[in-house]
Amino acid sequence: MASTAHDQERLEKARASLEESYVPSDDEEYMNATQQDYFRMLLLEWKRSIHNAASQTLQSLQDGPIREPDLNDRASSETDWGIELRTRDRQRKLITKIDAALRRIDAGEYGYCEVTGDPIGLRRLIARPVATMTVEAQSAHERREKISRDD
């Protein structure tokens, strides 16, 4: 819970420094303090929404087991729960990426490709705030992965 309180404090500071309608623009210096606050806020809100969804899932699981009298209904419910739990597991892994992106913001490394060192680009970061590579570097990485899988 200490992490959640710390995240909430960081979120409030980032919100306070931004105008309500602020959206990063190519007309500004890349990864200036305002843009960093914008992405910090985006990441922290995303993390909070994932935690809220996980809490709701946990609460639903604690409310009781599936008690569908019909076997088909029970099978369908169990399949739905399986999908829900896999989704939560993927989101748990996403939280790790969000935390890493927040650390990169704090270190001043956010927004730059971990392979080439080039700016990732605002549009890509808005679409995928946890991105660590430019589109070109990511494409090359995926091609190499595909080739090694095919071998």
Decide: residue 38, CB within 10 A, 0-12 exposed, 13-18 middle, 19+ buried: buried
Query: pLDDT tens across 112-148, in order?
Result: 999 999 999 999 999 999 999 999 999 999 999 888 8
Helix (H) or strand (E) holding 115: none
Question: Is residue 151 helix, strand or coil?
Answer: coil
Q: What is the DSSP string of 19-47?
A: -TT----TTSPTT-HHHHHHHHHHHHHHH
pLDDT score at 98: 96
Q: Compare 69 and 49 and report the one with higher pLDDT.
A: 49
Domains and CATH numbers, the chain: 2-150 (1.20.120.910)
Instruction: Pick the closest to residue 44 from 97, 96, 7 (CA basis).
Output: 7
Q: What is the pTM of this model?
A: 0.76
Cα 57 to Cα 31, 52, 76, 131: the distances in Å are 36, 9, 17, 27
